[in-house]
Amino acid sequence: MNEDEPSATALRVAGDRASHQWLDSPKVLDDPLAVRILPPPEAARIRGSRTHGFGPVAVAMRAWMVARSRFAEDELARARDRGVVQYVVLGAGLDTFAYRPPLDPRPLQVFEVDHPATQRWKRRRLEEAAVPVPASVTFVPTDFERGRLAVDLERAGFDRSAPAFFAWLGVTMYLTPEAIAETLSVVASAAPGGGVALDYFSRRTAAAPLESLAHAAIARRVAQLGEPFRSWFPPGELADRLRSLGFRGILDLGRAEVNARYFRGRTDRLRVYGTAGHLLSAVR
């Protein structure tokens, strides 16, 4: 990543969330700030394209992006009923949860964790879009590969003795196995009652030819952007690792489960098509 620029993949995810607000009804993720926080040139590019968002790959990618955000927010709501008072967004990008009018009036401290360059970019975008930053939001710059997450969270005021819920979306596939293991150990060190929601790529020995071609094309594109895929997991491996760290109540959702949960009964084509992506949550 260029130290003076945001993550290219974070910008892509933000574009997909904004496109969902324009193109799809009913919405899986109702996020009015997704459009407002998008950089104006990117918004103009998306709105000006007659074909953007309607190809099969674009539809599937958009479905995945909004489903995983909705999944994390649904799991957070369950965690708050268990007494969670801290929400840690690992790899926050342009996520807008903390800036939308809260649906739940109970206090919640939000820690947004990301690479310093992406975080500086987001704070500029918030200011330019006139989106106020609530007092409940704390920005935590870190680099997952340097293993300083625990130190940086503590320095920012994170309370390890209080329950916390972690959302970790669109990150594991870009990290080394060592960085993933270190981050999971930090998540596991938080007080009981919290939990985690994350997504990951499943390593399978066989896939449909078209899916294999699409995944290879995406892998080439992110590699060209300087953010190559680094980690995949055999089915069940991450769930077993979480159990070994003391987690319970594990959900591991593949394509069929995600579509049944978030896209059932739709009359458009919006749904997840690939089999590589998984959504996983667990209770600490």
Determine if the pTM surpasses 0.75.
Answer: yes
In this prediction, residue 104 has a pLDDT band, given cuts at 50, 70 and 90, of very high
pLDDT over 80 at 205, yes or no: no
pLDDT tens for residues 213-253? 666 666 666 666 677 788 999 989 999 999 999 999 999 99
pLDDT at 9: 84
Output 46-50 pairs: Cβ under 8 A, ≥24 positions apart: 46/15, 46/18, 46/19, 46/22, 47/22
Q: pLDDT at position 214, please?
A: 64
The pair of structure tokens assigned to 72 is 């994390």
Provide the 8-state DSSP code for 1: -
Q: Say if residues 229 and 201 touch (Cβ distance below 8 Å).
A: yes
Kindly list the structural domains of the chain, giving each domain's residue range(s) and its CATH number in brackets, ordered by start. 8-283 (3.40.50.150)
Higher pLDDT, 17 or 230: 17
What pLDDT sits at residue 43?
Answer: 87
Residue 211 pLDDT > 90 = no
- pLDDT tens digits for range 118-175: 999 999 999 999 999 999 999 999 999 998 999 999 999 999 999 999 999 999 999 9
Crossing angle (nearest 10°) for helices 209-224 and 56-81: 80
Give the per-residue pLDDT at 275.
Answer: 87
Determine the average pLDDT of the residues in 201-219: 63
**What is the rounded CA–CA span in Å between residue 277 and residue 259?**
12
Q: How many other CB atoms are there within 10 angstroms of residue 250's CB atom?
A: 17
| pLDDT tens-place string over residues 184-198 | 999 999 999 999 999
DSSP state of 269: S
Single-letter code of the amino acid located at 256: A
How confident is the model at residue 126, as a pLDDT?
97
pLDDT tens, residue by residue, 24-67? 999 999 999 999 999 998 888 877 765 566 788 889 999 999 99
How many whole angstroms separate alpha carbon 213 and alpha carbon 191?
43
Phi, psi for 216 (deg, rounded to 5):
-65, -40
What is the pLDDT at residue 55? 84
Q: Which phi and psi (to 5°) does residue 21 adopt?
A: -65, -35
CA atoms within 13 A of residue 63's CA, in its CB half-sphere: 26
Q: What was the pLDDT predicted at 215?
A: 62
Residue (of 252, 281, 220, 214) closest to 60 by Cα position: 214
CA 119 from chain centre, in angstroms, equals 15
Question: In whole angstroms, how far apart are CA 85 and each of 106, 110, 269?
Answer: 8, 9, 37
Q: What six digits make up the tokens of 53?
A: 């968002």
Q: Which residues contact 177 (CB under 8 A, 6 or more apart)?
A: 230, 231
Q: What is the full DSSP assignment across 180-245?
A: HHHHHHHHHTSEEEEEEEEEEEB--S---HHHHHHHHHHHHHHHHTT------B-TTHHHHHHHHT
